[in-house]
Structure 1
Amino acid sequence: MKFQKNYVISGEIICSTGLHIGGSKDSIEIGGSDNVIIRDPVTRLPYIPGSSIKGKMRALLELALDRVTNGGPCKCGKCEVCRVFGSAADNISVSGPTRIIVRDSFPTEETLKMWDESSDVVEGAELKYENSLDRITSRANPRNQERVPRGSKFEFEIIVSEYEGDSDNLGVVLEGLRLLEDSYLGGSGTRGYGKVEFRDITITERPSEYYRGEAGENTLGNFKTLADIQLPEE
């Protein structure tokens, strides 16, 4: 199997609503949150794990393309979803490596400044207070959870590889991003959390010759939104 090229998709993820991607906490501090978000252990600031983006894209594509089997993820090893996103290690029908790499996404400088200037944001998070009600007694059970505040921006990068015999891996990934915009990222999406938008997108093509120092890269375009992307036919 011969490697042909990589596509580099980069841009910004904008949180249109509060975003909660859960982290872990060994103990709850007095006055702290019952449900914390994931943070960089060095900076103590929120980030978006690449695994969260990749996993949600795959799940949405499997539903959209009718690839869900027995209520779980597709493991056929032959379809476009398995080809791009990978399949079980013991599935010998998969041809070649996983075609997609999704990097962790970190906040932009603009967002760091916004967080720093807001008295309601602590270590990149707001506290969202909610009540769960006992439907018999109507007793309220207050709780809170951390969210990345609306308007926060994160830089993202996705690498899409193409090998000999592949068909439109880039198109599959772009469709996954479009599906994600119409769904949600992280938890509590049905309660309004996790609406994201992909903006200021650049797509760059790097052929195999690029990595041998025999050719340059080719920018396929700069796009304000996913809807603006129209790629030249090969």
Structure 2
Amino acid sequence: MNTISKIEKLYGKVIFEGRISVLTGMHIGRSMEFAAIGAVDNVVITDPLTKYPIIPGSTLKGKLRYLLARTKSNTGYLSDIAQESEEIKRLFGSMGDKEKAYVSRLQFFDLFINEESVEAIKKADTDLYVTEIKFENTISRSTAQAMPRQIERVPAGTVFDLKLIYNIENEEEFEQDMANLFEAIALLEHDYIGGHGTRGYGRIKIDISHYECKFAQEETVRAVEEILKPMLQ
């Protein structure tokens, strides 16, 4: 059984805030047990209260980890989570290690549409309430017949509010953790999030506009600022 042998000391928390801008239509889907005739085939995941689309924190975390793990692999292929390097495990967490479990230093939140963005989409001529429909067509190789389908997308121009929290558990590892985080963000900006990315869906821009170091000694706050200032320029 994997165990967390020691709880690391908490030297402080760094709270990042910013936004994710959708550059091309984005589809992060959810399952449908029933679809009426003529209904959209693939719908996006939404907030159950507002019915607005969201970007689940787990989706963002998983994509960032996946891209970073691919670049850090020394085997020529994507390693199993248990075989990932410690720098990835401590940043994103790992419960698959038989000897030691790692609690993620990064905390992710579900991303909700910015209110200004909601109002702009409502005024736009989209197919649905705050989303659009993209008609896709595939050709069956066996019958040569077209198989049209409708995919719901978050339209380009939509903006989501972003929040991340990083726990400072080892001051000497902070700079490397931040370098890895911003490398993963840069990789994602040159990749995609959600489905159908190879057809142009899910291109995004990530902007971190503000950070705050809390619950930390003054010397830790100064060290954090010295490391983050050039990274955020």
Q: Normalised by the size of structure 2, how large is the TM-score?
A: 0.84
1:19 partnered with 2:48: no
Name the counterpart of 1:114.
Answer: 120
Within the candidate set 155, 163, 173, 2:169 is matched to 163
SS of match in other structure, 1:3: coil
Name the counterpart of 1:226.
Answer: none
Q: Distance in 2 between matches of 1:25 and 1:122?
A: 17
SS of match in other structure, 1:230: helix
> Structure 1 stretch 174-183 or stretch 51-60: which is displaced more?
174-183
Is the 1:67–1:73 Cα contact (8 Å) retained in structure 2?
A: no
Q: Return the letter of the residue paired with 2:199.
A: R
Is the 1:206–1:217 Cα contact (8 Å) retained in structure 2?
A: no
> Structure 1 stretch 157-166 or stretch 171-180: which is displaced more?
157-166
Count of aligned positions: 221
Is the 1:17–1:193 Cα contact (8 Å) retained in structure 2?
A: yes
Superposed CA offset, 1:182-228 (max 9, x none): 11001110010000001252122224359xxxx9999949x9xxxxx
> Structure 1 stretch 53-62 or stretch 118-127: which is displaced more?
118-127
SS of match in other structure, 2:82: coil
Q: Return the letter of the residue paired with 1:47.
A: I
Is the 1:108–1:154 Cα contact (8 Å) retained in structure 2?
A: yes
Pairwise CA distance, 1:54: 0.2
Structure 1 residues 90-169: aligned runs within 5 Å? 91-94=98-101, 97-164=103-170, 166-167=173-174, 168-169=176-177
Q: What is the Cα-based RMSD across aligned positions, in Å?
A: 2.9
Name the counterpart of 2:13.
Answer: 6
Within the candidate set 190, 196, 208, 2:216 is matched to 208
Residue segments in structure 2 that go unaligned for 5+ positions in a row: 1-7
Within the candidate set 47, 50, 58, 2:54 is matched to 47
Is the 1:102–1:157 Cα contact (8 Å) retained in structure 2?
A: yes
Pairwise CA distance, 1:78: 5.2
Name the counterpart of 1:59.
Answer: 66
Q: Distance in 2 between matches of 1:65 and 1:79?
A: 11
Q: Are the structure 2 counterparts of residues 170 and 6 from structure 1 closer, same or farther at C-alpha, using a change threshold of 3 Å?
A: farther
SS of match in other structure, 2:133: strand
Percentage identity across paired residues of the two chains: 31
Q: Distance in 2 between matches of 1:143 and 1:218?
A: 53
Residue segments in structure 1 that go unaligned for 5+ positions in a row: 224-228
Q: Are the structure 2 counterparts of residues 25 and 205 from structure 1 closer, same or farther at C-alpha, using a change threshold of 3 Å?
A: same
Is the 1:68–1:74 Cα contact (8 Å) retained in structure 2?
A: no
4+ residue runs over 6 A deviation: 215-219
